[in-house]
Chains A and B, each alone.
Chain A
Amino acid sequence: MGVHVIKLPDVGEGVAEAELVEWMVKPGDNVMEDQVLAAVMTDKATVEIPSPVIGKVIWVGAKAGDTVAVGSPIVKLEVDGAGNAKEDAATVKEAPKAEKKAAALSSPARGGGVREADGGGDSSRSSSRMERAPSVALRATAPPPAGEQKRVAPAMPTAAPRKEGEKPLASPAVRKRAADAGVDLRRVAGTGPAGRIGHEDLDAYFEHGSSPVAPRGRRADASIKEIPIIGLRRKIAEKMTISRSRIPDIVYVDEVDMTALEDLRAKLNTGKKPDQAKLTVLPFLMRAMAKAIEDQPQVNSLFDDEAGIVRQYGGVHIGVAAQTDGGLVVPVVRHVEARGLWDCAAEVSRLAESAKKGTATREELSGSTITITSLGALGGIVTTPVINHPEVAIVGVNKMQVRPHWDGSAFVPRRMMNLSCAFDHRIVDGWNAAVFVQRVKTLLENPAMIFIQE
């Protein structure tokens, strides 16, 4: 936990101070990125001050009605990571270096999926954050800085084509042409002597993105790319290793006739209220699992194998594995046993959205007691899902498709779907695993049973 200090930014009106007219937050409040914290007023305009980070307000530096000097701290936030409070002193001392580093890293770090993995340390990331801090949303009409308007979005952001910290080498004419087109030369590969970037390299960049002109025909590619495993990817790697090395798992697969459920689902979706999220198979499965767990509570547990304790949970907190640009994350729907079908659907869609945007909180991404993983959309008959340690069970959903089914007298087309489930065999016996899956299968095949209260 660190402290992020937000200072009153230059509001662009040429004034050295402004009156704080309204607080939108108070100490103790949790704030999201870009959430408005306060409004300040100059004699020319009222300006909203947004939060550059996620955090919890722990201090406010002025009362409404106070006049505040530009640059003085107005809010302190408690944030994950180091914050910027200490760094302030450091930046003064080695300003040129820090500035250079921030500049060198700020743009390559935008490369989508690589973002987390890039930037070898928190200092670089937080300094680019600090640059963002003075941004303000103007309520009054103010023209944007002229330079912003003409800027063309760079073609294809990819990793930098030269060693970190090495400046791009180009003649002033090439530099000017790149600047006019809004291209950051740090992203352009140079094919000239000493890696010099020439006009032809810029042409190639405009045409193909960052890589130099692709040679025609097939060619052996002897390149090896070293990708440091850090950030989210490292966490995933560690968790998978723990799971596979510690858990002797049993995988159990069965097929489920989804025809009845699909009919019901279609009807419910036709009659849904406009504010309700569209039902997928997931909420039905979650409700069915919650019901099956009533009879097989040991599958809804966390096994602390170092302490030798299994904690069997009353609440059913289902993790739903989701793929994001950054990698695998598992947002958690809490207390499924207490939620209705539509409630589950709404929560799943809300969590999926925030996971995709990267705004899911730590609480929303932890605390599951059992997990669902679905590669169904991509096809596949069977998966061997990896148990989300320290949980003891995971339910894998395979693709639903119409298959011939023998009903005792003839083959009939039915919507079939496989469930590939894995259990920690130390805690869950094969018998119990099979009973759990069979119970879920029965519930899904006879969906009315999911909703009947005995």
Chain B
Amino acid sequence: MTDLTTKLLIIGGGPGGYVCGIRAGQLGIDTIVVDAEALGGTCLNVGCIPSKAIIHAADEFEKSTHFANSSVLGISAGKPSLDLSKTVAWKDGIVKRLTTGVGGLLKKSKVKTIKGWASFVDGKTVDVKTAEGATRIRAENVVIATGSVPVELPFMKFGGNVISSTGALALNAPPKNFAIVGAGYIGLELGIAFAKFGSKVTVVEAMDRILPTYDAELTKPVAKRLKDLGVTVILGAKAKGLSKDGKALEIEQNGKTEAIAADKVLVTVGRKPLTEGWGHDKLALDMDGRHLKINDRCETSMRGIYAIGDVTGEPMLAHRAMAQGEMVAEIIAGHNRRWDKAAIAAICFTDPEIISCGLSPDEAKAAGHKIKTANFPFSANGRAMTMEAEEGFVRVVAREDNHLLLGLQAVGRGASELSAAFGLALEMGARLEDVAGTIHAHPTQGEALQEAALRTLGHALHI
């Protein structure tokens, strides 16, 4: 057994872990990152990045389908064809480039990476099983960044025709009939993409609405688009399991059982923190429900052990994990840091895209604020018209008394890129007047943000 000693050991090389490693390296901390899989975690390998690649390909394919019929733009083209295995290979190339890039960045920061499965012996000692044998690492500080895994339905385990999001991103042909359990953001992002590839998609959701974490006003344009794309959405229905012949998904709605033809069934009913399999039982870590309990410095209940990212619960977002990782590296370097972020944007890469940053009107009211709020529709935005992206709007939520922005939301094609402006405005403590008084270049979709602020102040110019 090899023995190593280090100042900082990071378990998990996902966005939280690798960013923590890079920052720690920059600060001159002796650091080791351990991961059993390729660096980059869920995000780079089987999450954010590959799904966006597939969604982009689906958009392109749908465009050409559009042109094969009659297009208002006056463009016509032949009937397109799709080789999904090539698409997947292209996607894998991007993933490879990014994960190799992460390895390079860590190396540049003089961080050692070990490929293997880590397991705690005690709070200062971790054993890693690698291909070359076992390594024992003693560390002054340990960061748990083990991430999360898809939730499995006990009566419909992953395998065969039942796939997780990871499986959906590796299909070599679009299923003819594609059933999806769960109308959260993962289910709908992939559902829309495969509908564009030509699959007959059916989404089954137990609750009475799609995207239950976003408010109804924001999800309405997505529901409309799903209908246009021919996606069947069945709400208030429970998945019961595969039919006997394995070619249909059985669901129960209002007490009636129904079978939905499905070559593949994608189960996206959420993700759960990975809190087992790495020696959690050897430690005395307080839990907060299903995830590890942390304070505003990402400290767990044991001194010298930190936790970041999905293993610390919602919101399970890569950019949150990255910011936590950066903060923890600085804390270990002796800087005085606390979690003080004003907002973490959440994006849903459906068609149209939804972005929410800060508080929605209902959340702001629930928090006891008196608010002013207004929408500005993309149908009144010149740039959106020229892009055939008139669906959706930008929404502004501000305090009534001092006009401090509390939340910014949008739904629309390409709306995700507004996240930079939304995040900056909230983090800087902008007021309605700040946004309204900033020149927004014409013609861009971003003008809708300025107009929404102006409209909240009662003097929008273009509506």
Hey, which bits of chain A sit against chain B, CB under 8 A? Answer: 10-17, 69-71, 95, 99, 103, 145-147, 149-151, 169-172, 175, 179-180, 182, 192-196
Contacts and interface: CB of A to CB of B under 8 A. Distances in A.
Contacts of B301: 10, 71
Nearest to A71: B284
A196 B426 CA distance: 12
Given A16-B283, A70-B302, A150-B334, A170 B288 contact: no
B200 to A, nearest CB: 43
Contact of B282 (A16, A99, A149, A151): A16
B428 A171 contact: yes
Interface in B129-172: none
A149 B427 contact: no
Contact of A150 (B122, B284, B332, B336): B336
Given A12-B303, A14-B125, A145-B303, 6 more contacts: A10-B301, A16-B122, A16-B284, A95-B293, A147-B335, A172-B428
B338 interface: yes
B402 A193 contact: yes
A149 B429 CA distance: 31
Contacts, number: 80
Given A99-B295, A171-B429, A14 B333 contact: no
23 contacts: A10-B284, A10-B301, A12-B303, A13-B124, A14-B125, A14-B302, A14-B305, A15-B122, A16-B122, A16-B282, A69-B284, A71-B284, A103-B296, A147-B336, A151-B336, A175-B340, A179-B337, A179-B338, A179-B340, A182-B336, A193-B402, A193-B434, A194-B399
A311 to B, nearest CB: 54
Interface string B273-305: 000000000111010100001011000011111
Contacts of A95: 288, 293
Contact of B402 (A171, A182, A195): A195
A196 B331 CA distance: 26
Contacts of A69: 284
Given A15-B122, A103-B296, A169 B335 contact: no
Interface in B325-348: 331-338, 340
Contacts of A16: 122-123, 282-284
Contacts of A145: 303
Given A12-B304, A71-B301, A169-B404, A179 B336 contact: yes
B334 A147 contact: yes
B92 interface: no
A150 B340 contact: no
Contacts of A14: 122-125, 302-305
Dominant SS among interface residues on chain B = loop
B433 interface: yes
B433 to A, nearest CB: 7
Contacts of A12: 303-304
Question: In the complex, which of the residues A14, A16, A146, A193 has the most CB atoms of chain B within 10 Å of its own CB atom?
Answer: A14
B403 interface: yes
Interface size class, chain B? 35 or more
A20 to B, nearest CB: 16
B331 A170 contact: no
Given A14-B304, A71-B284, A196-B429, A150 B296 contact: no
A192 B431 CA distance: 11
A71 B285 CA distance: 9
Given A10-B303, A99-B295, A169-B404, A146 B333 contact: yes
A206 B14 CA distance: 40
Nearest to B368: A165
B421 to A, nearest CB: 15
Contacts of A71: 284, 286, 301
A15 B123 contact: yes
Given A175-B340, A193-B402, A146 B332 contact: yes
Contacts of B333: 146
Nearest to B123: A14
A71 B331 CA distance: 25
A26 B399 CA distance: 57
Contacts of B337: 147, 179
Contacts of B402: 193-195
Interface string B217-229: 0000000000000
A404 to B, nearest CB: 64
Contacts of A149: 334
A256 B353 CA distance: 91
Contacts of B434: 193
Contacts of B296: 103
Interface string B373-393: 000000000000000000000
Nearest to B399: A194
B322 to A, nearest CB: 15
B302 A10 contact: yes
A147 B332 CA distance: 7
Contacts of A192: 429
Contacts of B305: 14
B190 to A, nearest CB: 32
Nearest to A169: B429
A324 B132 CA distance: 68
A189 to B, nearest CB: 15
A42 to B, nearest CB: 9
Nearest to A100: B296
In the complex, the 8 A-B pairs of residues with the closest C-beta atoms, listed nearest first: A14-B123, A14-B124, A146-B334, A70-B284, A194-B402, A12-B303, A169-B429, A16-B284
Contacts of B335: 147, 150, 179-180
A69 B286 CA distance: 13
